[in-house]
């Protein structure tokens, strides 16, 4: 397996599809997609509560750690669908009514960092992408995916909650698409 710090958007889809086939598929694919879409650190994601989601306005409050910039993100339709599917299954879990956190274990407790790590790692392995996956790769994948979509560095900085833009530049600096038309208006004499 090769070592890399991020996954491509295509690889994320393969990992989500692999997670969907598991016994805990609703939870696992929802966890992976939300981590990717919002660039969550795993500790931030595991502290996500029902009170952080406004289903009516379809917004999610992103509480950043590491002195990061917390903000509100809009939720994607696909994300809402997966979240609602997970929440239906979640109702069958022990202590589901008492647990304020979105992601919980089958046994009824808050999902641990180790469990989340194993979810991402095993879904990555089952996807067949040939890359050893871990949760922080989803955060990096978000930054690179936004850069690939042409989102400017400053907006990516705010989206990921970076206080210092130096942490954000890595995503846009490696984006080869920004050079695509650099020679298009040059006279080649």
Question: Torsions phi, psi of 71, nearest 5?
Answer: -155, 180
Pick the catalytic residue from 27, 41, 90, 140: 41
Q: Where are the domains of the chain?
A: 9-177
* Structure-block tokens of residue 109: 């407790």
Q: Are 13 and 144 in contact (CB under 8 A)?
A: no
When pLDDT is averaged across residues 52-72 and rounded to a whole number, the result is: 93
What's the confidence (pLDDT) of residue 176?
Answer: 63
Annotation marks residue 93 as catalytic: no
Pick the catalytic residue from 22, 136, 167, 170: 136
pLDDT for 141-167, tens place per residue?
999 899 888 888 888 888 998 877 777
Annotation marks residue 66 as catalytic: yes
Higher per-residue confidence, 167 vs 46: 46
For strand 53-54 and strand 71-74, is the pairing parallel, antiparallel, or unpaired?
unpaired
Pick the catalytic residue from 40, 144, 159, 171: 171
Fold of 9-177: hpI Integrase; Chain A (1.10.443)
pTM, 2 dp: 0.88
Q: Are 135 and 6 in contact (CB under 8 A)?
A: no
Question: Torsions phi, psi of 59, nearest 5?
Answer: -120, 155
When pLDDT is averaged across residues 111-115 and rounded to a whole number, the result is: 96
d(C-alpha 170, C-alpha 1), whole Å: 23
Pick the catalytic residue from 5, 49, 66, 113: 66
Annotation marks residue 22 as catalytic: no
Annotation marks residue 139 as catalytic: yes
Pick the catalytic residue from 139, 140, 144, 159: 139
Q: Is the dihedral of CA 41, 42, 43, 46 positive or negative?
A: positive
Distances (CA, A) of 187 to 177, 179, 182: 21, 17, 12
Q: Percent of the chain having pLDDT more than 70? A: 88
């Amino acid at each position: 397996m090769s070592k890399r710090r991020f996954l491509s958007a295509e690889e994320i889809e393969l990992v989500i599809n692999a997670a969907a086939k598991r016994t805990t598929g609703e939870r696992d694919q929802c966890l992976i997609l939300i981590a990717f879409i919002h660039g969550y650190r795993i500790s931030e994601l595991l502290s996500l509560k029902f009170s952080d989601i406004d289903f009516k306005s379809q917004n999610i409050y992103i509480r950043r750690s590491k002195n990061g910039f917390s903000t509100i993100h809009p939720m994607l339709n696909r994300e809402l669908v997966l979240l609602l599917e997970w929440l239906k299954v979640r109702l069958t879990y022990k202590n589901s009514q008492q647990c304020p956190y979105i992601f919980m274990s089958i046994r009824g407790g808050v999902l641990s960092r180790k469990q989340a790590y194993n979810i991402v790692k095993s879904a990555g392995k089952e996807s067949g992408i040939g890359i050893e996956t871990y949760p922080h790769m989803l955060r990096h994948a978000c930054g690179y995916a936004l850069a690939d979509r042409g989102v400017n560095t400053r907006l990516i900085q705010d989206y990921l909650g970076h206080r210092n833009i130096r942490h954000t530049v890595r995503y846009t600096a490696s984006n080869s698409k920004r050079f695509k038309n650099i020679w298009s208006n040059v006279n080649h004499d």
